[in-house]
Structures are given as structure tokens and as C-alpha cells.
């Protein structure tokens, strides 16, 4: 049983499908230095607490229909 679903009031029984849809999110506009800091596992030191709450530092790219991402 999934604790997140149970906490939200859902009771998952056997043979039920749970939706795992990938949805679009706003693109983050990061500088090269900010991107390097995030990939290194931290957050840029000059970010205010409000900006830290707004940015998703765990976000990663997904591959769409098996197509590799082009190099910039």
C-alpha cells in the first residue's frame, strides 16, 4: 500500500491501476553557474529562501519517445 495515497484518503486494493502520467512543468531558466551548482548536488549561495522554494532542484530531463536530446 502506498502511504501517500492512504494519507490522502485513498485505499488501493488489488488489481487497481494508479495513474502515473507525466505532466509538463514550467521550464526553469538557470544560468550556467546555477545549473552546475544544482547538478553538483547543492543550491547557489546567492538564492534567497523564496527563490529556493520556487525552483525544483530535483528536476531532470526525460526522453520523449526514445529520442535523445540534442547538444546545445
Q: Where are the domains of the chain?
A: 29-57
**Residues sharing a CB contact under 8 Å with residue 34, sequence separation 6 or more, in sequence order:** 44
Please provide the size of the chain in residues.
Answer: 72
pTM passes above 0.85: no
Q: How confident is the model at residue 69 (pLDDT cuts 50, 70, 90)?
A: low
Q: Please, what is the average pLDDT of the chain?
A: 77
Beta partners for residue 67, in sequence order: 64
**If phi over 0 gives left and psi between -120 and 50 gives alpha, with beta otherwise, what is residue 15?**
left
> Among 7-11, 21-25, 39-43, which range has the highest average pLDDT?
39-43
Q: What is the pLDDT of residue 48?
A: 92
Amino acid at each position: 500500500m502506498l502511504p501517500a495515497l492512504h494519507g490522502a484518503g485513498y485505499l488501493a486494493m488489488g488489481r487497481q491501476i494508479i495513474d502515473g502520467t507525466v505532466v509538463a512543468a514550467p521550464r526553469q531558466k538557470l544560468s550556467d553557474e546555477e545549473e552546475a551548482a544544482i547538478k553538483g548536488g547543492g543550491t547557489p549561495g546567492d538564492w534567497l529562501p523564496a527563490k529556493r522554494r520556487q525552483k525544483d532542484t530535483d528536476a531532470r530531463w526525460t526522453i520523449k519517445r526514445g529520442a535523445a536530446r540534442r547538444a546545445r
